[in-house]
C-alpha cells in the first residue's frame, strides 16, 4: 500500500496542489491505513463494506460530518487514481453516499467594520505598512491567503491596479484592486525598497510581501496578522483571512455586481460555489427589510 500512497501523492504534486492540500490528503489516507492495520485487513481485499466500516469508526471518534465527508472524498480520489494507474480494478468508495452536511453560510463583515479592520495597522514601519497593504489587498481583491503570499513583484501592475494571481491548480486570473489598496501598496513598496528588501530569491522572483528580515511571508504569518487584528476588534467578531474573502464577495453582490463576474474574480471553477453569496445577500435584505418596513412585523 505504501507504494500506492506515494504514487498518489506524487501525482498530486504534479498537479501543483498546495502544500496544505497535499498534507490534508496524506493525513486522510494515513488515517485509512491505520484502520486497515487495526483490522489486520489486506489492502487488495478492501470493498465498500470495509470503507463503510471505516466511516463508522470515524463517527465513533466523534469526528464532524465535514471531516468524514472530506476523508471519503479523499478515498474516492485515491482509488480512482489507482484504477487510472492500472493498480486496481474497482473503487470501493465510489458508491458510498457522503454524509449530508448542514448548509453553512459564509461569515462576513459589515462595510464599516471591514474598513476598521483594514485600517487598523498604523505607523510608518515596514511591518505596519506591509500589514496595512496586506489587509487592504485581501479585502480589495478577495485573494486566498496562499495566493497572496505567492505573489511576486511581476504579478503586480500598479499603473492599472491589477494583480495576476495563480489559484488552485495554477489556474491564472487577473483581479483589479482599488485606490485604497493601491495607496497602501505604494507606501509599503517604497519602504521595502528603502530597507533594501526588493531582492529576488534563488528562482529569480522577488516576493511581494516579505518579513522584517526580508524573507517571503508564509500563509501562517498572514493568518497570525489577521488573528492579531481580530483581537483588537471591539465587537469580538470572528475574523479570518477567508472572512475578508467572503466580505469582498458579499459587498460586491450587495452593490449590484454580476454573479459571474464575482465567480471570475474569486477564481471559482463552478458558479454553484459562488451562489452561496446570494443566500448571504438575501439574508441581509431580509434583515434590512425587517428593520425598515413599518409593517414587516407585529409589535
- Identify the three-state secondary structure at position 213: coil
The three grid cell numbers given for residue 69, joined into one nine-digit string: 465527508
Q: How far, CA to CA in Å, does 14 sit from each of 7, 22, 147, 169, 268?
A: 11, 11, 18, 10, 21
Q: Which of 65, 116, 168, 230 is catalytic?
A: 168
Residue 164 forms beta bridges with which residues? 174
Looking at residue 173, what DSSP letter applies? E
- Residue 277 annotated among the catalytic residues of the structure: yes
- Residue 100 annotated among the catalytic residues of the structure: no
Q: Which of 268, 284, 289, 293 is catalytic?
A: 268
- Could you tell me which residues come within 8 angstroms of residue 126 by beta carbon, excluding any fewer than 6 positions away? 188, 191, 192, 195, 197, 212
- Residue 289 annotated among the catalytic residues of the structure: no
Q: Which of 76, 132, 245, 251 is catalytic?
A: 245
- Residue 57 annotated among the catalytic residues of the structure: no
Q: Which of 57, 65, 242, 276 is catalytic?
A: 242
- Residue 245 annotated among the catalytic residues of the structure: yes
- Could you tell me which residues come within 8 angstroms of residue 131 by beta carbon, excluding any fewer than 6 positions away? 121, 225
Q: Which of 71, 130, 144, 146 is catalytic?
A: 144
- DSSP assignment of 44-56: GG--HHHHHHHHH
- Residue 291 annotated among the catalytic residues of the structure: no
162-166 vs 156-157, strand pairing mode: antiparallel
Q: Known catalytic residues? A: 144, 168, 242, 245, 268, 277
Amino acid at each position: 500500500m505504501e507504494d500506492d500512497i506515494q504514487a498518489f501523492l506524487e501525482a498530486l504534486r504534479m498537479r501543483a496542489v498546495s502544500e496544505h492540500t497535499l498534507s490534508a490528503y496524506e493525513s486522510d489516507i494515513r488515517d485509512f491505513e491505520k484502520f486497515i492495520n487495526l483490522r489486520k485487513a489486506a489492502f487488495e481485499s478492501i470493498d465498500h463494506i470495509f470503507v463503510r466500516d471505516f466511516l463508522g469508526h470515524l463517527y465513533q471518534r466523534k469526528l464532524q460530518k465535514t471531516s468524514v465527508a472530506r476523508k471519503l472524498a479523499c478515498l474516492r480520489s485515491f482509488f480512482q487514481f489507482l484504477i487510472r494507474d492500472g493498480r486496481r480494478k474497482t473503487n470501493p468508495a465510489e458508491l458510498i453516499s457522503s454524509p449530508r452536511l448542514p448548509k453553512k453560510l459564509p461569515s462576513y463583515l459589515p462595510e464599516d467594520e471591514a474598513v476598521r479592520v483594514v485600517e487598523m495597522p498604523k505607523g510608518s514601519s515596514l511591518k505596519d505598512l506591509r500589514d496595512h497593504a496586506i489587509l487592504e489587498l485581501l479585502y480589495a481583491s478577495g485573494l486566498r491567503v496562499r495566493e497572496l503570499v505567492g505573489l511576486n513583484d511581476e504579478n503586480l501592475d500598479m499603473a492599472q491596479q491589477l494583480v495576476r494571481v495563480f489559484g488552485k491548480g495554477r489556474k491564472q486570473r487577473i483581479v483589479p484592486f482599488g485606490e485604497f489598496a493601491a495607496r497602501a501598496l505604494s507606501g509599503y513598496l517604497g519602504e521595502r525598497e528603502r530597507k533594501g528588501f526588493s531582492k529576488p530569491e534563488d528562482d529569480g522572483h522577488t516576493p511581494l510581501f516579505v518579513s522584517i528580515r526580508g524573507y517571503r511571508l508564509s500563509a501562517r504569518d498572514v493568518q497570525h496578522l489577521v488573528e492579531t487584528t481580530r483581537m483588537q476588534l471591539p465587537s469580538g467578531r470572528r475574523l479570518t483571512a477567508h472572512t475578508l474573502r467572503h466580505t469582498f464577495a458579499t459587498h460586491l453582490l450587495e452593490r449590484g455586481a454580476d454573479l459571474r463576474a464575482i465567480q471570475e474574480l474569486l477564481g471559482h471553477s463552478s458558479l454553484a460555489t459562488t451562489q452561496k453569496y446570494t443566500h448571504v445577500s438575501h439574508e441581509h435584505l431580509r434583515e434590512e427589510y425587517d428593520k425598515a418596513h413599518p409593517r414587516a412585523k407585529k409589535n
